[in-house]
Amino acid sequence: MLNAKLIVDRDFVVSELDRRIFGTFVEHMGRCVYGGIYEPGHATADEDGFRGDVLELTRELGTTIIRYPGGNFLSGYNWEDGVGPADKRPVRRDLAWFSTETNQFGTNEFMKWSKKANIEPMFGVNLGTKGADEARQFLEYCNHEGGSALSDLRKEHGYEKPHDIKFWCLGNEMDGPWQICHKTAEEYGRVALETAKVMRWVDPTIQLAACGSSHRNMPTYGSWEYQVLDHCYDEVDFISLHTYFNNHADSAAEYFGVIELLDAFIKEVAAICDAVGAKRRSHKKIMLSLDEWNVWYKTHKIENMRVPGWPEAPPLIEEVYNTEDALIVGGALIAMLNNADRVKVACLAQLVNVIGPIMTETGGDAWRQTIFHPFALASKHGHGRVLRSVAESDSYSAKTFPEIPYLYATVIDNPADGTTTVIALNRSLTDSMEVEVELRGLGADRELVHATELHHSNLKAVNTKEAPNTVAPKANKDVTINGERMTVRLKPASFNVITTKATPAGNA
């Protein structure tokens, strides 16, 4: 048995939690749109062709904001192709995924779907084959009230009210040689600046994210962020970070180290932003948008990304997630929450089928992958302020990271309803862990609201259509509360969410 301590104080706050940290991503790729969120003719499809089972799971997932329409797809996309009468829309070859795009689903369909899914939309503008002019026109089509050619065109298309899309990505992964019209940092920095400038003139209320690095291992990492921001610091609000975790070493102990690498990545990018700010003697802080993150390695080969013959919506990168992947996703969420002062937006990539927490069969069922659960639990209970927690725990060393504490945790306090939630990962593969949690100043008389654990003795266990609940949350009965102290026993290799509440009499 391992012993660990976790201490928080009501007055030591990292930040208010921005709920946009629980974002996801819908790209025109594989079966994410077609056969995922949109499948006219499916038994659960509504009058708009949206799958009802996927909509229901999307709501249950608790995702708050969704990035659309790509991804690599964005860099070759003409937004005009996806609006107006569906039977007049062009069929195109998509050079990102070598697929045929029918454009039967586009901006207005996504907006309609967003409302039904109860999520905020987050759009990208194409800075690959297009540029500032297209971007400002697209924004005018979406957000302008009326009385201009493009806003009136939207009305003609049946959308009287502006879509009022607040968050915009200035391109996608422009540092990657795989990107359609990849750019150097100098080229992209200039384009991002000028695009941001004209977009703000069209709608001063929007928030803009410049592309950061596609991965921490990119050869241009660090200098890319610095050079890009050196151009557009004053015009953008966010810089993006993308990361996909892998367990190529097939060692869970090594795998847990990627969570520490994410924490380092976040802190490094924040430091680079601040260095550019310092050079300008600016009071402005650039925030981080981790707008693509997930586990992705089992289907990371070229044959998983391209199907010959330009098919429509072929199955691409349909990664099947196991228990250990779910623990990594849970750990990554803890890392983001502990950096909530800088990470204000994050998107688990993607939502359905394509490296998705939701899996469907075209014409058939939909089910929850293992990674669905840590995300849904964190989103359901992640409201309020993230507290600065101090953890005392044994650690181990791995090749991925030199010091990996077995206990990895975050604490979120919600003054609105008096609850405090501990989210904790036990990274020991063999030992249970008894954690003593000290909730200083948060009310001496506490009651347990729930204690939920995600654990399976087989780290390779997966959820399938036939057995969709193999890896699923269960109640943890090993919790005792005594005044401001709570003791909880965590199973080895488990992700845990425990919420307690101060009773009115004991409220501090």
**Interface with ligand AHR, residue 72, by CB under 6 A:** yes
Residue with smaller CB distance to ligand AHR, 106 or 418: 106
Residue 140 annotated in active site = no
User: CA 435 from chain center: how many Å?
Assistant: 29
For residue 164, the SS3 value is: coil
> Between 22 and 61, how does the x/- string for binding to ligand AHR read (CB under 6 A)?
-----x-x--------------------------------
Q: Shortest Cβ distance from residue 350 to ligand AHR (Å)?
A: 6
- Per CB under 6 A, 80 contacts ligand AHR: no
Binding residues for ligand AHR restricted to 378-407, rule: CB under 6 A: none
Residue with Cβ nearer ligand AHR (246 or 470) = 246
Residues 93 and 306: beta-carbon distance below 8 Å: no
- The label of the residue with tokens 């990292």 reads 14
Q: Which residue has the tokens 């890319």?
A: 224
Distance CA 212, CA 216 (A): 10
User: Minimal distance in Å, beta carbon 196 to ligand AHR?
Assistant: 20
Do 23 and 61 contact (CB within 8 A), yes or no?
no
Smaller CB separation from ligand AHR, 2 or 228: 228
CA distances from 315 to 50, 100, 303 (A): 19, 13, 11
Of 109, 116, 28, the closest CA to residue 70 belongs to 28
Residues 363-395 as b/e (b if ≥16 CB within 10 A, e otherwise) read eeebbbbbbbbbbbbbbbbbbbbbbbbebebee
Q: Which of 203, 292, 413, 453 binds ligand AHR (CB under 6 A)?
A: 292
In the window 244-283, what residues touch ligand AHR (CB under 6 A)?
none
Of 392, 488, 479, 481, which Cα lies nearest the Cα of 442?
481
**What are 465's two structure tokens?**
């259509």
Least distance from ligand AHR to the Cβ atom of residue 51, Å: 20
Of 74, 105, 73, the residue nearest 89 (C-alpha): 105
Only one of the segments 67-75, 131-139, 330-338, 469-477 lies at the binding site for ligand AHR (rule: CB under 6 A); that segment is 67-75
Kindly indicate which of the ranges 3-11, 65-73, 386-394, 473-481 contains the residues binding ligand AHR, using the contact rule CB under 6 A: 65-73
Closest distance of CB 387 from ligand AHR, Å:
32
Residue whose CB is less far from ligand AHR, 29 or 191: 29
Q: For ligand AHR, which is the closer residue by CB, 315 or 468?
A: 315
Site for ligand AHR in 200-239 (CB under 6 A): 214
Nearer to ligand AHR, 265 or 406 (CB): 265
Closest to ligand AHR by CB, 125 or 377: 125
Rounded to the nearest whole angstrom, what is the least distance from the CB of residue 465 to ligand AHR in the complex?
23
Catalytic residue, chosen from 109, 225, 292, 484, is: 292
Asked about 186 being catalytic, the answer comes back as: no
d(CA 163, CA 48): 18
291 scored as a contact of ligand AHR (CB under 6 A):
no
Q: Catalytic residue, from 173, 225, 319, 324: name it.
A: 173
Of 317-376, which residues contact ligand AHR (CB under 6 A)? 349-350
Decide: helix, strand or coil at residue 441.
Answer: coil
- From candidates 101, 173, 324, 453, binder to ligand AHR by CB under 6 A: 173
Q: Is the dihedral of CA 340, 238, 267, 285 positive or negative?
A: negative
- Provide the 10 A C-beta neighbour count for residue 257: 22
Nearer to ligand AHR, 159 or 224 (CB): 224
Can the peptide bond before residue 227 be classed as cis, meaning omega within 30 degrees of 0?
no
CB of 176 to ligand AHR, least distance (A): 7
Residue whose C-beta lies closest to ligand AHR? 71
162 closest CA partner among 182, 179, 138: 138
Q: Which residues contact 83 (CB under 8 A, 6 or more apart)?
A: 106, 107, 108, 141, 153, 154, 157
- For 262, the token pair is 């994410």
Q: By CB under 6 A, how many residues form the interface with ligand AHR?
A: 11
Q: Positive or negative CA dihedral for 176, 178, 184, 187? A: negative
Stretch that binds ligand AHR, among 70-78, 414-422, 465-473, 499-507 (CB under 6 A): 70-78
What's the rounded Cα separation, in Å, for the pair 104 and 87?
A: 8
- Catalytic residue list: 173, 292
| Interface contacts to ligand AHR, rule CB under 6 A | 27, 29, 70-72, 172-173, 214, 292, 349-350
